[in-house]
């Protein structure tokens, strides 16, 4: 039963990456899963419920970054752990997708989720605050230890790390490849870090 549910979620995810939520019909999902409509309704009450579960499943790793498991030895070690986590997470996502390149529809899934489920935007905002706090904390420690010094305040530095990761990911979507995201992010952060070092 669990495998069937996961099969439906996996098929639906591929469909939603190819089209928008609105464009994917229940008929599309049923046909691609090889199930009957009745069998589908055994697992999900509606396309909306399926989409909500899918969004929560897919974006959990994006929203719930395990900052507490990252090294607190230094800012350098912290961001290395972040990149390693990011690359590992990306590989796991790509194993579940037929096409390993990030797509615009991946981003549109987020916007569809925000339109359909207002609580999802709250989750995104809360996640951003958790990220900001985690980065500010390690940056503050790095400044206190003399690892870095900068006229930028802790929040500005934190936002540079957070927002640049989104920029590198968006650029990879434009280029149609996710293979170099980790390396590109690391190169960018290494250069930024060298500018921060005391």
Taking only the tens place, the pLDDT of each residue in 114-162 is 888 888 888 888 989 999 999 999 999 999 999 999 999 999 999 999 9
Residue 113 above 60 pLDDT?
Answer: yes
Give CA–CA dist 61/85, Å, rounded.
10
At residue 18, the pLDDT reads 84
Please state the rounded mean pLDDT for residues 94-122.
Answer: 72
Cα angle value 188/194/195 (rounded, 5°): 95
Phi/psi zone of residue 178: left (φ > 0), alpha (ψ -120 to 50 degrees), beta? alpha
For a pLDDT cut of 90, what percent of the chain falls above it?
52
At residue 102, the pLDDT reads 46
H-run or E-run covering 15:
helix 2-18
Three-state DSSP class for 21?
coil
Q: What's the mean pLDDT when you consider all of the chain?
A: 87
For residue 76, give the nearest of 132, 156, 145, 152 by alpha carbon.
Answer: 145
At residue 64, the pLDDT reads 85
At residue 159, the pLDDT reads 97
Residue 103 above 60 pLDDT?
Answer: no
Per-residue confidence at 101, pLDDT binned at 50, 70, 90?
very low
Give CA–CA dist 172/111, Å, rounded.
19
Please state the rounded mean pLDDT for residues 57-65.
Answer: 77
Buried b / exposed e across 15-45, counting CB within 10 Å, b at 16+?
bbbeeebeebeeebbbebbebeeeebeebbe
């Amino acid at each position: 039963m669990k495998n069937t549910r996961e099969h439906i979620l996996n098929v639906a995810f591929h469909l939603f990456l190819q089209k928008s939520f609105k464009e994917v019909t229940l008929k599309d999902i049923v046909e691609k899963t090889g199930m009957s409509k009745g069998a589908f309704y055994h697992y999900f009450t509606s396309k909306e419920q399926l989409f909500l579960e899918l969004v929560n499943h897919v974006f959990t790793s994006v929203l719930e970054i395990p900052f507490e498991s990252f090294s607190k030895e230094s800012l350098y070690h912290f961001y290395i752990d972040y990149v390693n986590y990011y690359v590992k997470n990306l590989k796991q996502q790509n194993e579940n997708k037929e096409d390993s390149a990030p797509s615009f529809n991946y981003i549109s899934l987020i916007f569809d989720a925000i339109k359909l489920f207002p609580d999802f935007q709250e989750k995104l905002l809360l996640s951003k605050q958790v990220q900001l706090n985690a980065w500010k904390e390690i940056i503050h420690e790095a400044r206190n230890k003399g690892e870095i010094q900068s006229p930028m305040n802790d929040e500005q530095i934190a936002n540079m790390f957070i927002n640049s990761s989104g920029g590198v990911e968006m650029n990879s979507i434009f280029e149609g490849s996710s293979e170099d995201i980790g390396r590109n992010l690391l190169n960018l952060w290494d250069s930024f870090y060298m500018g921060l070092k005391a």
